């Protein structure tokens, strides 16, 4: 292709070294190869950071994205537009972008003005609803799609209805290594006379290495000179979650199998130069992966293209690359077949050499210079397909076209308010008030927050969210009196409970938190304990008289049923509570006072939210109608003439026929209105409701009667209330958690706007 047709400014989006992962290496190799093939083009990188401090990138990286911050993706789109990139080449893997199934990426793709070519490193044949929805929109936002194997293109056509005309199959690039015997390379490792088996890449349970180790005794009996090298660091995410448990299990297995003298673990992320030496020393490469649905394996591509014999389980890429005798395929999880495959190659040098030379010949089509030329052709095709249109750098960047800029997540005050027992309920200014101790109400709120932030992927790594969640859940477990089935509420700083049973409302909040944990927690132990607490504490609710306790419990019930739908007793209590709320409305509501009680007091919007949710989830039209009608009225009386949110004040509340109290205004009211408004929007899709949620949220930020923010951007705390002449100077748990739960709810809604959830996908209820 003539250089005159190359895009002049080519941007590559993905992970990038020194971040250690396969996508980072691929992005770097592709960028450098394209730059070499098109020297007149300016190739640069937009790198995705998985940690707040980022990485010390080379000059090739000109823009960075914080993985979990959706605004960071929009800023990157502005950067690309402003710098007049001619083409964007995206490396896609669900796990490297923020949001549900990587949906934050779509916020960038919606705003870039240049053609987009997306390389799909994973193509799922059986995606879940969110994965399918994300990929389908990614297809729409991309001008062309590149996959690395024919199987990937087949799945895209058959499962996702992607037209053939939009697809290109380009093999995984590999370095151009000379075909050489392994003897010379073995000498530098001190392995003269040994037969070398190799597996390399980031290590984790899906690699199936245990089955090779179980095959080793039989291999060693036939070939005592064999040594098996397992090369690669443990996958960083696995390392963070469970340390070196998998690697240690492999070492114990090797000892049990009596093959310690025939296996070497190199626990490090290797450079390309080092990798070339290990590949050179290899006689047989082994990929014992456990899952057929792997459409690309860069590690196997490297070794295959270097002319090494491969024994592999039949995942999709292996089936394609090793077809027609270019390698040996063995069944999944079958050490005996693995041993036979390896021994067959080791015992037949002529066959092994034939396989090696055929692999090397085919590999010439996979070397990076050849792959780069293919990509340049695709880039030109994408530009030709894209209709000519102006690319104004900041078109549509008006306030009306962008979502509300949400404050950055700042959890310092939540952490400061928490000790090993739980979260303190009150503060003196911004310091915990030990004298007032702890309460179940606030630990329930804090546990819900942890689950929501973990599900959103929206929290600083330094927050140690799992540790916080563990403390809050442990408090809830201690709060439950297993004999009475009631949660206690108040605990002194000395860890002494102050009552035998807490209020009905605190019990309802505890159930809400337990239902959330049972449904949403990614920690299996937390889920089981949450379910146990929920099931032990639920029966008591049937005897309660508080509409708020009914409502809090209903929110927990619906979340619990999300994970455990076949729960007749839980469903029955949920219907009972729904009917109680409906009955309270029918008994009290009038045209002038469409409410459940003769007084508007606190956490008012929760009653509306619970009925809207019940109406949606249980196909209960009356409950839905009452929930929406009551919320509309509540919104109307909580909006000032100036358009700001004014909740019912706690100094007297609002009694039917009397004067409403405008102060003190409490943060929990704003948070409840945010949550209920989003629930109403999910039920009706009326544009009014996101505006109501925004109005209530902006109350925290200063759009209120005094024009003063309650949220402290420096500490991450929130004032306890808005008085008639000032804000409270104390930053207690209830108010701070109310702000952070509202912020999380706004973030979830923003994600839904950037990428709508599929039908029947239930958001978390805060």
**CA gap 216, 226 in Å, rounded:** 9
> How is residue 268 written in tokens?
């490090």
CB neighbour burial string for 620-631, b if at least 16 within 10 angstroms, e if fewer: beebbebbbbbb
CA 221 to chain centre: 46
Relative orientation angle of helices 150-160 and 129-141, to the nearest 10 degrees: 100
Cβ count near 575 (within 10 Å): 16
**Are the folds of 3-173+369-384 and 183-366 the same?**
yes
> For residues 719 and 728, is the Cβ–Cβ distance under 8 A?
yes
Per-residue confidence (pLDDT) for residue 459, from 0 to 100: 62
CA 530 to chain centre: 21
**CA gap 7, 381 in Å, rounded:** 11
Helix (H) or strand (E) holding 450: helix 440-456
Per-residue confidence (pLDDT) for residue 386, from 0 to 100: 81
SS3 content of the chain, % helix, strand, coil (to 5): 50, 10, 35
> How is residue 300 written in tokens?
């196997």
Per-residue confidence (pLDDT) for residue 763, from 0 to 100: 54
**CA gap 224, 194 in Å, rounded:** 9
Q: Give every CB contact of residue 707 below 8 A, 6+ residues apart in sequence.
A: none
How does strand 42-49 pair with strand 61-66? parallel
**CA gap 237, 543 in Å, rounded:** 46
Nearest CA among 133, 86, 145 for reference residue 106: 133
CA angle 685–693–750, rounded 5-degree value: 70
- Model confidence, pTM: 0.73
Cis ω before 27 (30° cut-off from 0) = no
> How is residue 21 written in tokens?
């992962």
Options 1.10.3720.10, 2.40.30.30, 3.20.10.10, 1.50.10.10; CATH of 412-754: 1.50.10.10
Per-residue confidence (pLDDT) for residue 391, from 0 to 100: 42
Residues of the chain with pLDDT under 50: 1, 388-395, 399, 759-760
What CATH homologous superfamily does 183-366 map to?
A: Glycogen Phosphorylase B; (3.40.50.2000)
> How is residue 195 written in tokens?
């037969």
> How is residue 616 written in tokens?
């949606």
**CA gap 194, 207 in Å, rounded:** 24
The CATH architecture of the domain made up of 3-173+369-384 is 3-Layer(aba) Sandwich (3.40)
CA angle 602–607–611, rounded 5-degree value: 170
Per-residue confidence (pLDDT) for residue 760, from 0 to 100: 47
Q: Where are the domains of the chain?
A: 3-173+369-384, 183-366, 412-754
Per-residue confidence (pLDDT) for residue 733, from 0 to 100: 98
**CA gap 179, 305 in Å, rounded:** 9
Dihedral of CA atoms 72, 77, 81, 85 in degrees, nearest 10, equals: 110
**CA gap 508, 553 in Å, rounded:** 5
């Amino acid at each position: 292709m003539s250089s005159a047709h190359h895009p002049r400014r080519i941007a590559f989006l993905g992970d990038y070294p020194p971040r250690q992962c396969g996508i980072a290496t691929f992005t770097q190799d592709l960028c450098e190869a394209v730059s070499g093939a098109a020297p007149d083009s300016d190739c640069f990188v937009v790198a995705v950071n998985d940690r707040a401090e980022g990485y010390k990138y080379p000059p090739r990286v000109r823009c960075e994205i914080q993985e979990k911050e959706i605004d960071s993706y929009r800023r990157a789109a502005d950067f690309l537009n402003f710098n007049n990139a001619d083409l964007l080449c995206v490396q896609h893997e669900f796990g490297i972008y923020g949001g549900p199934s990587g949906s934050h990426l779509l916020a960038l793709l919606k705003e870039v003005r240049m053609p987009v070519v997306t390389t799909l490193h994973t193509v799922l044949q059986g995606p879940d609803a969110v994965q399918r929805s994300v990929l389908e929109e990614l297809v729409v936002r991309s001008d062309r799609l590149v996959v690395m194997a024919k199987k990937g293109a087949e799945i895209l056509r058959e499962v996702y209805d992607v037209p053939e005309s939009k697809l290109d199959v380009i093999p995984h690039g590999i370095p151009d290594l000379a075909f050489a015997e392994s003897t010379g390379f073995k000498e530098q490792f001190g392995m003269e006379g040994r037969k070398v088996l190799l597996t390399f890449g980031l290590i984790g349970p899906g690699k199936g290495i245990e089955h090779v180790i179980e095959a080793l005794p039989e291999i060693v009996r036939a070939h005592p000179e064999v040594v098996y090298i397992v090369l690669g660091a443990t996958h960083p995410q696995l390392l963070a979650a469970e340390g070196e448990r998998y690697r240690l299990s492999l070492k114990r297995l090797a000892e049990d199998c009596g093959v310690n003298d025939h296996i070497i673990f190199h626990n490090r992320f290797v450079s390309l130069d080092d990798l070339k030496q290990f590949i050179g020393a290899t006689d047989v490469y082994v990929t014992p992966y456990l899952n057929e649905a792997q459409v690309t394996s860069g590690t196997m591509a490297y070794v295959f293209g270097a002319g090494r014999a491969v024994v592999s389980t039949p995942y999709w890429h292996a089936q394609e690359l090793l077809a027609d005798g270019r390698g040996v395929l063995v069944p999944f999880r079958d050490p005996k077949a693995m041993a036979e495959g390896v021994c067959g190659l080791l015992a037949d040098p002529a066959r092994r050499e034939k396989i090696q030379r055929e692999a090397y010949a085919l590999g010439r089509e996979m070397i990076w210079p050849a792959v780069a030329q293919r990509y340049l052709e695709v880039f030109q095709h994408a530009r030709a397909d894209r209709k000519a249109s102006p690319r104004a750098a900041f078109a549509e960047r008006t306030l009306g076209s962008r979502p509300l800029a949400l404050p950055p997540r700042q959890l310092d005050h939540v952490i400061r308010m928490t000790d090993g027992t739980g979260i303190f309920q009150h503060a003196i200014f911004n310091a915990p008030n030990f004298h007032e101790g702890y309460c179940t109400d606030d630990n329930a709120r804090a546990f819900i927050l942890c689950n929501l932030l973990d599900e959103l992927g929206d929290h600083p790594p330094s927050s140690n969210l799992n540790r916080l969640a563990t403390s809050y859940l442990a408090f809830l477990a201690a709060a439950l009196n297993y004999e009475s089935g009631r949660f206690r509420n108040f605990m002194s700083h000395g860890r002494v409970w102050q009552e035998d049973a807490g209020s009905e409302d605190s019990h309802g909040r505890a159930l809400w938190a337990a239902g959330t944990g049972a449904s949403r927690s990614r920690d299996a132990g937390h889920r089981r304990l949450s379910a146990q607490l929920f099931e032990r504490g639920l029966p008591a609710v049937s005897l309660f008289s508080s509409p708020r306790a009914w409502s809090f419990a209903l929110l927990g019930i619906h979340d619990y049923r999300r994970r455990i739908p076949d729960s007749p007793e839980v469903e029955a209590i949920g219907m009972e509570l729904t009917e109680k709320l409906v009955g309270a409305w029918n008994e009290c509501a009038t045209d002038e006072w469409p409410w459940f009680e003769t007084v508007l007091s606190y956490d008012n919007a929760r009653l509306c939210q619970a009925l809207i949710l019940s109406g949606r989830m249980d196909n209960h039209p009356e409950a839905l109608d009452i929930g929406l009608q009551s919320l509309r009225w509540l919104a109307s009386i909580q909006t000032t003439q100036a358009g700001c949110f004014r909740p019912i004040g706690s100094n007297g509340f609002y009694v039917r026929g009397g004067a409403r109290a405008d102060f003190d205004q409490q943060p929990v009211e704003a948070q409840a209105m945010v949550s209920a408004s989003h629930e109403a929007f999910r039920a009706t899709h009326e544009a009014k409701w996101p505006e109501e949620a925004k109005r209530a949220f902006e109350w925290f930020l200063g759009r209120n009667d005094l024009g003063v923010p309650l949220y402290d951007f420096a500490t991450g705390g929130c004032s306890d209330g808005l008085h008639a002449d000032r804000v409270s100077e104390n930053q207690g748990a209830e108010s701070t958690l109310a702000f952070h739960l509202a912020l999380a709810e706004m973030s979830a809604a923003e994600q839904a706007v950037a990428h709508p959830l599929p039908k029947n996908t239930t958001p978390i209820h805060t």
